[in-house]
Amino acid sequence: PYGRTVYTKPQDDLRIFTKTPRDSKAWRKVYAMRSSSERSFKRIKNDYEIERCRVRSRKNWYLFIHFAAMNCHLDALVSKAENEHFDIWAEVLGKAFAA
């Protein structure tokens, strides 16, 4: 009643028996990369509200997504600079710049 059904044997199920053994260093490395990409996609889609964007053309989508990605990189750069107490004006001017 639900259309074509394909059954897999349990020993052939790649969701259970993956090519990279679970709980290995390689598995943790792959999973860490996957979770970091998921976090960056979440940041672009939700925090920069790309899903709510009312753009229809592919060029404009490309532009908005690239702006969001650049903002993610700038956020990381600013966060790192704040944590390390880095002053760009002191670096450029050679002295502290008071705002």
**What does the domain layout of the chain look like in residue ranges?**
10-93
Query: Considering Cα of 71, then 32, then 39, then 83, what sign does the dihedral take?
Result: negative
pLDDT (tens digit, 9 = 90+) per residue, 14-62?
A: 778 888 888 899 989 988 888 888 988 898 888 888 888 888 899 998 9
pLDDT (tens digit, 9 = 90+) per residue, 61-89?
A: 899 989 999 999 888 888 888 888 877 77
Q: Nearest CA to 61 among 72, 69, 50?
A: 50
Q: Are 70 and 81 in contact (CB under 8 A)?
A: no
